[in-house]
């Protein structure tokens, strides 16, 4: 069949299946060939690759992935889309569609079975309401992934790559940058989708590190402090950590900040990832001693 990147083909498919867009699944389907090629290029997909696609929708991006990759496994939560995908992907024998919730799929088992445990590339036009849980699930569970290239809300993409002292800098910035190097590959206006979203979008690539860029004794403590700092970002770092329920005293935080030659009135938004790691390490060493 003709590609779904042609808006007329997508509109005809909607009518043929009398498809009703589900707001609960955040469905906005791409209809722009230029953007689709940008995604494929940013992900660096080759004929050696297995690609895991999250939320294929009608299969618009899947068609392009299938032509570039060795194999594509597409996970779609909406069972109403399965008959549509059976038609739109009928010409591609290297695509497997799984009707499931990506947050419940055993991705590691899938990678071991289909790709001999070698890292896969993850590509997705993500539902905006569940972007962060999906990305953090992939990163925190240490799934064998080479890179993650996803369409997300532009504001979220900017937060992922933001640095200290900027308004977009926050817990998500630090969490993503602990696991991966982010860069925005393209900004995408609303008219590239059916139906049009109310916000701008961006394609962001996360290139996963072999090992985190900082060494930290207690990851859990570091991320507890990071979340507490940005939950009350207008307060001083020491106050937001103590008020945030982290089991450490104000005196210990002040002493650690002094050793780091930082002001005791500093806010969390001013600290880099390496400074958060150093602070967590100083507090861990004192606790363990």
Q: Put the strands of the sheet holding 180-188 in their side by side order.
A: 95-99, 71-76, 50-54, 120-125, 145-153, 201-208, 180-188
What pLDDT does residue 24 have? 81
Other CB atoms within 10 Å distance of the CB of residue 53: 25
Report which of 242, 226, 240, 239 is spatially closest to residue 279, judged by C-alpha positions: 226
Residues above pLDDT 70, as percent of the chain = 99
Coil, helix or strand at residue 181: strand
* Model confidence at 288: pLDDT above 80: no
Confidence of residue 267 (pLDDT cuts 50, 70, 90): very high
Q: What domains does the chain contain, in order, with CATH numbers?
A: 7-208 (3.40.50.150), 219-288 (1.10.8.100)
Query: How far apart are alpha carbons 193 and 276 in whole angstroms?
Result: 39
Query: How far apart are alpha carbons 129 and 123 in whole angstroms?
Result: 17
The beta strand positions in the chain, using DSSP E, are: 29-30, 50-54, 71-76, 95-99, 120-125, 145-153, 180-188, 193-194, 201-208
Is the distance from CB of 271 to CB of 164 less than 8 angstroms? Answer: yes
Q: What is the average per-residue pLDDT within 182-191?
A: 96
Beta bridge partners of residue 74, listed in sequence order: 53, 97
- C-alpha distances in Å from residue 42, one per residue of 1, 173, 210, 222: 26, 20, 19, 31
The beta strand positions in 163-259, using DSSP E, are: 180-188, 193-194, 201-208
pTM: 0.91
φ/ψ (deg, to 5) at 98: -115, 125
Q: What token pair was written down for 122?
A: 């993850």
Q: pLDDT tens, 53-105? A: 999 999 999 999 999 999 999 999 999 999 999 999 999 999 999 999 999 99
- Close Cβ partners of 109 (under 8 Å, ≥ 6 residues apart): none
């Amino acid at each position: 069949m003709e590609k779904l990147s042609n808006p007329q083909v997508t509109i005809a498919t909607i009518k043929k299946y009398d498809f009703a867009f589900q707001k609960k699944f955040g469905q906005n389907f791409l209809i722009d060939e230029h953007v689709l090629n940008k995604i494929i290029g940013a992900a660096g997909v080759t004929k050696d690759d297995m690609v895991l696609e999250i939320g294929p929708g009608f299969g618009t991006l899947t068609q392009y992935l299938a032509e570039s990759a060795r194999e594509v496994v597409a996970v779609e939560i909406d069972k109403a889309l399965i008959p549509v995908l059976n038609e739109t992907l009928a010409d591609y024998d290297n695509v497997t569609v799984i009707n499931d919730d990506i947050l419940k799929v055993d991705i590691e088992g899938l990678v071991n079975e289909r790709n001999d445990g070698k890292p896969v590339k993850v590509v997705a036009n993500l539902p905006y309401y569940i972007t962060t849980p999906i990305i953090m699930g992939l990163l925190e569970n240490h799934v064998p992934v080479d890179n993650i290239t996803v369409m997300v809300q532009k504001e979220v993409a900017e937060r992922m790559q933001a640095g200290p002292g900027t308004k977009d800098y926050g817990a998500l910035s630090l969490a993503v940058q602990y696991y991966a190097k982010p860069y925005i590959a393209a900004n995408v206006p609303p008219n590239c989708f059916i139906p049009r979203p109310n916000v701008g979008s961006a394609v962001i690539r996360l290139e996963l590190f072999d090992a985190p860029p900082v060494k930290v004794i207690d990851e859990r403590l570091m991320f507890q402090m990071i979340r507490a700092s940005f939950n009350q970002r207008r307060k001083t770092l020491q106050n937001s950590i103590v008020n945030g329920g982290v089991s450490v005293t104000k005196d210990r935080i002040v002493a650690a900040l002094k050793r780091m030659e930082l002001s005791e009135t500093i806010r969390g938004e001013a600290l880099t990832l390496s400074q958060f790691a150093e602070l967590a390490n100083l507090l861990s060493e004192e606790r363990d001693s």
